[in-house]
Structures are given as C-alpha cells and as structure tokens.
Amino acid sequence: MGDSTTAGTPGFLSPLESPPKGLGNPESQYAYWMSAVHPEWTVLNRGVNGQRTDEILERFERDVIRERPDYVIVLAGVNDVYQGAPQRAVKTNLLAMYQEAIRAKIIPVAATVLPYNSTSEPERDAVHELNRWISDTAIGLGIPVCDTNRAVADPNNPDRLRSSPEGLHPDASGYRAMGEALTHTIEDHLLHGGLRPHHNPAAPKNKK
C-alpha cells in the first residue's frame, strides 16, 4: 500500500493505475520480487503514483481492510516531504494506517521512505526524521519494520538511490532489493510465531 514506490514507477503502472493487471515491466515493482521468492503468497500492488499519505489513508478501507490480507506493507510519505507537508500530519496519517490495520487484525509492516537524488538539505532532514519516527513507532506498536530506504540507497551516499532511471525512483534492481528486504522482514515475523501487534496502539507521546 503506498505511492509510486509501491506502484513501480517509472517502469510499471499498478493495477489501480492501469486496470485490471497493470502495465509495463512487472519487474519494476517490489510485489513482483516478493512473489518470485514465495509463489505461494498472493501479493497485491496497491500503489498510486504521486499520492500523499492523506490520499493513501482515504483509500485504506477499500484497498486494504476489505481485502482482509494477513499483512499490509505501508510505504508512504515521500510525496509529503516533496510537497512540504507538515511532519505532524504525515505521522498522524501513517499512524492511522497502522492502527486501522491492527484493529482489523491485519499486521502492518512499516517501511521507511526511500531517498531521491534531488533532495534539498531540508528534504533530506525531513526524510531522516520521518524514518526515525517510523522505526521508533513500529517498535512501540510491536509491528514489523523494514528499512526499504537502506535497501535502495547508495552505500557511498545514503541520501541518493544506488541505481535509478531518472533519479526519483529505483530501477528494477532496486525494486528487487526492496522486495527481498520486505520478504525477509515478513519471513522473520512468521518464524517468530507471527505474533499480533499490540491491540491498543498509541504513538509514543514525544514522537508526533
């Protein structure tokens, strides 16, 4: 569930963008690589290019709750940063998605926001702060967290993508790295009994 980095931009249009099965290079989406590792898993791509967290939250009931999945990967926030949205609003929207999933007995996987090559210093700071909050909040809620940012970042410059066709999104190799990282996160959660997160979630008071 998310924006362009779930949809598979720029190489793929998600099924929500090009019904019913999407369009383009299927390898340009992390869902493809998760299914490649686990063909027995049904992995749904519910990404829409350009959406902010408030827009993703608006369709959360339709695209997640009604589907009744075991897990939902929540990867969102980069467009909020790009558009200068207040951090408080972004965190409130992400927390609402985590909580809605938990109430529906769906395990949310909190994914960190990806870098992009044209970030200004304030945008880089905003991505860093948001990703710290995502990790801390996931720990506080007892839900899995995946550092998808690290999976695609240039090891020599973590504020840039390791490989990208246009500097804003990963290429297919980056989406593969994301898919493998997310797969490992869910595998690890299942290995440890697939414990449900806390059912009365609240964000840490100093993290909003």
- Asked, for residue 136, whether it belongs to a domain, the answer is yes
Residue pLDDT, tens place only, 87-140 = 999 999 999 999 999 999 999 999 999 999 999 999 999 999 999 999 999 999
Question: Which band of pLDDT confidence, cut at 50, 70 and 90, is reported for residue 192?
Answer: confident
- Asked, for residue 10, whether it belongs to a domain, the answer is yes
What are the distances in angstroms from CA 114 to CA 121, 168, 204? Answer: 15, 9, 23
148: domain CATH number is 3.40.50.1110
- Asked, for residue 202, whether it belongs to a domain, the answer is no
Report CA torsion sign: 13, 106, 60, 2: negative
Phi-psi category of residue 187: left, alpha or beta, with phi > 0 → left and psi -120 to 50 → alpha = alpha
- Asked, for residue 118, whether it belongs to a domain, the answer is yes
pLDDT of residue 167: 87
CA–CA separation, 58 and 62 (whole Å):
9
- Asked, for residue 162, whether it belongs to a domain, the answer is yes
- Asked, for residue 207, whether it belongs to a domain, the answer is no
The count of structural domains within the chain is 1
- Asked, for residue 205, whether it belongs to a domain, the answer is no
- Asked, for residue 161, whether it belongs to a domain, the answer is yes
Show the domain range for 146: 4-191
